[in-house]
C-alpha cells in the first residue's frame, strides 16, 4: 500500500516542537516508533518530548536506555505541555491512550496519527494509516526515507525491535517481502539482531517461566483441536510472582499444536475484568469476534477487555468462536 506522507510532512515542516505519544502498556513497536520518530525530528532541529500515559513496561526498558519516555503526571505535568504538534503512534483508539487521551483531546496544535491498526477512532487528527503494515516501525522507516533522514544505529535498533516484536520475530502472516527489505536496511544501518533477540527473549524472570508452565497446563482443545484456549488466574500470578506482562507471547505456544487454527488466552485482571487475546493462523478473522465484544485488532491478532469474570468471559467468547468457526 502506497502511503501518502505529504500531509504529515507538511505538519513536520511547519512545526518546531513535537509531543509524541502512544498506547498504554506500550510494546516495542510503540516505544521503538516513538524513539525513532523523536530522533528523526531532532535531526531536523525540532524540539521533541515523548510522553506516555504510563511507564514503559520493565521487560522492554532496554529499548529506551536513555529514559527518554516520560510519564504524564510523574515526569511531566499537564501544564508543562506546550508543543506545536502532537503525533500519536501505533494506536488510534481513545481507550488505549489512558491519561494521555485528555491531552490529545485538548491539544490546540496540529495532531497526527501514524498507525497500522484496522480499528480506529476519530482523534481529530491527520491520519497516516497502513493496515497492511506489519508494524508501525516499518512505517516510520518509510517516513525517514521520505524525509531523506539519516537512519542512525539508534534509530535502526529501535525500528528493528519494533518490527521484530510485532511479527513475533518474523513468523506472523503479516510478514512480507517489504518486511525483510526494511530489516536489511536496518541491519545495514547498525541494528544487531542477536543482541536485540537476547534483550527481548532471553532476559526473563524465573517467575515468568513458572507462569508459562501454568498457562500451558491449562490449555484446552475444542472443535477437534481447531480452537485452542487457556487462561491465567490472579492466583497464578500471586503464586508464581509473575505479572500481567509475563503473559506476553504465551498465546503463540498454543499454535505449536498441529491442526490449531484459533488460539485464545484469557487473563483474569482485578475488579472483574478479563483480558482476552485471540490469534488466528488461518483466514478466520478473529477481529470480527473481538468486535462483537467491543474489542478490536487485526484478522490474525485481536484483543478484548471483557467486563466480567474469567468464567463468564470464557463461556461467552468460546461460544461465539464455536459458532463463527463452524
Ligand atoms: Mn504495532
Domain membership flag for residue 314 = yes
Q: Residue 140: inside a domain, yes or no? A: yes
Q: Are 278 and 263 in contact (CB under 8 A)?
A: yes
Output the CA 59–ligand 1 centroid distance in Å. 17
Q: Are 15 and 40 in contact (CB under 8 A)?
A: no
Tell me, in angstroms, the distance from the centre of ligand 1 to residue 51's CA: 17
Apex CA 73: angle with CA 67 and CA 79, to 5°?
110
Q: Is residue 308 part of a domain?
A: yes
Is residue 270 in a domain? yes
Same domain, 285 and 310: yes
Q: How many CA atoms lie within 13 A of 101 on its CB side?
A: 12
CA of 322 to the centre of ligand 1 (A): 28
**Which CATH number covers residue 146?**
3.90.1640.10
∠135-133-177 over CA atoms, to 5°?
100
Same domain, 215 and 241: yes
What's the rounded Cα separation, in Å, for the pair 181 and 225?
36
* 217 and 110, same domain (yes or no): no
- Listed residues 179, 201, 223: the one ending a domain: 201
Whether 238 and 310 map to the same domain: the answer is: yes
**Ligand 1: distance of its center to the CA of 37 in Å?**
14
Q: Which of 201, 234, 254 is the last residue of a domain?
A: 201
180 and 252 part of one domain: no
- The model's pLDDT over 101-142, given as tens digits with 9 standing for 90+, comes to 999 999 999 999 999 998 789 999 999 999 999 999 999 999
* Residue that terminates a domain, selected from 161, 176, 201: 201
196 lies in the same domain as 63: yes
Going from the Cα of 133 to the center of ligand 1, the distance in angstroms, rounded, reads 9
How much distance in Å is there from the Cα of 30 to the middle of ligand 1?
A: 6
How many domains would you assign to the chain? Answer: 2
Residue 62 C-alpha cell reads as 532496554
**CA of residue 310 to ligand 1 center, whole Å:** 26
Question: How far does the centroid of ligand 1 lie from the alpha carbon of residue 144, in Å?
Answer: 17
Q: Which of 4-13, 24-33, 243-252 has the lowest mean pLDDT?
A: 243-252
**CATH at 241:** 3.10.310.30
Q: Is residue 1 included in any domain, yes or no?
A: no
Which domain range does residue 179 map to? 6-201
For residue 35, report the distance from its CA to the centre of ligand 1, in Å: 14
Instruction: Tell which residue, 255, 198, 196, 183, has the closest CA to residue 226.
Output: 255
* Gap from CA of 135 to ligand 1 centroid (Å): 5
Tell me the CA–centroid distance for residue 166 and ligand 1, in Å.
6
CA proximity to 90, closest of 53, 145, 45: 53
In this structure, the answer to whether residues 126 and 215 fall within a common structural domain is no
Q: Same structural domain for residues 210 and 97? A: no
Spacing, Cα 36 to ligand 1 middle (Å): 14
Residue 127 maps to a domain? yes
Same domain, 17 and 121: yes
Ligand 1: centre distance to CA 130 (Å): 11
Span 147-189, pLDDT tens digits: 999 999 999 999 999 999 999 999 888 999 999 999 999 999 9
Ligand 1 centroid distance, CA of 90 (Å)? 5
The 10s digit of each residue's pLDDT in 1-20 is 789 999 999 999 999 999 99
**What average pLDDT does range 262-282 have in this prediction?**
96
Ligand 1 mean position, distance from CA 70 (Å):
20
Looking at the structure, do residues 64 and 196 belong to the same domain, yes or no? yes
**Residues within 5 Å of ion ligand 1, judged at the Cβ atom:** 29, 90, 136, 166
Q: Are 123 and 12 members of one domain?
A: yes
Closest by CA position to 47, among listed 11, 84, 9: 84
User: From CA 247, how far away is CA 249, in angstroms rounded?
Assistant: 6
Asked whether residue 65 falls in the same domain as residue 179, the answer is yes
Amino acid at each position: 500500500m502506497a502511503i501518502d506522507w505529504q500531509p504529515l510532512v507538511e505538519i513536520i515542516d511547519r512545526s518546531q516542537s513535537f509531543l509524541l505519544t502512544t498506547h498504554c502498556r506500550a510494546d516495542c513497536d510503540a516505544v521503538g516508533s516513538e524513539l525513532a520518530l523523536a530522533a528523526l525530528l531532532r535531526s531536523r532541529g525540532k524540539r521533541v518530548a515523548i510522553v506516555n500515559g504510563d511507564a514503559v513496561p520493565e521487560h522492554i526498558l532496554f529499548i529506551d536506555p536513555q529514559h527518554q519516555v516520560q510519564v504524564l503526571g510523574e515526569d511531566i505535568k499537564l501544564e508543562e505541555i506546550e508543543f506545536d504538534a502532537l503525533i500519536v503512534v501505533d494506536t488510534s483508539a481513545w481507550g488505549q491512550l489512558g491519561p494521555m487521551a485528555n491531552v490529545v483531546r485538548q491539544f490546540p496544535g496540529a495532531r497526527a496519527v501514524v498507525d497500522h491498526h484496522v480499528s480506529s477512532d476519530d482523534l481529530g487528527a491527520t491520519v497516516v494509516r497502513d493496515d497492511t503494515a506489519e508494524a508501525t516501525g516499518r512505517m516510520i522507516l518509510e517516513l525517514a526515507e521520505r524525509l531523506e533522514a539519516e537512519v542512525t544505529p539508534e534509530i535502526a535498533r529501535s525500528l528493528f525491535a519494533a518490527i521484530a516484536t510485532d511479527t513475533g520475530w518474523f513468523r506472523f502472516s503479516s510478514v512480507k517481502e517489504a518486511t525483510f527489505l526494511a530489516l536489511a536496511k536496518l541491519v545495514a544501518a547498525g541494528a544487531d539482531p542477536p543482541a536485540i533477540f537476547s534483550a527481548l527473549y532471553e532476559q526473563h524472570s524465573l517467575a515468568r517461566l513458572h507462569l508459562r508452565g501454568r498457562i500451558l497446563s491449562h490449555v484446552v482443545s475444542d472443535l477437534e483441536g481447531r480452537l485452542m484456549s487457556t487462561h491465567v488466574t490472579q492466583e497464578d500470578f500471586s503464586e508464581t510472582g509473575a505479572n500481567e506482562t509475563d503473559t506476553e507471547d504465551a498465546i503463540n505456544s498454543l499454535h505449536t499444536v498441529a491442526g490449531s487454527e484459533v488460539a485464545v488466552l484469557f487473563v483474569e485482571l482485578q475488579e472483574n475484568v478479563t483480558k482476552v487475546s485471540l490469534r488466528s493462523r488461518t483466514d478466520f478473522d478473529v477481529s470480527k469476534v473481538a468486535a462483537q465484544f467491543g474489542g478490536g485488532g487485526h484478522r490474525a491478532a485481536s484483543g478484548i477487555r471483557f467486563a466480567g469474570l474469567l468464567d463468564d468471559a470464557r463461556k461467552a467468547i468460546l461460544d461465539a468462536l464455536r459458532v463463527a468457526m463452524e
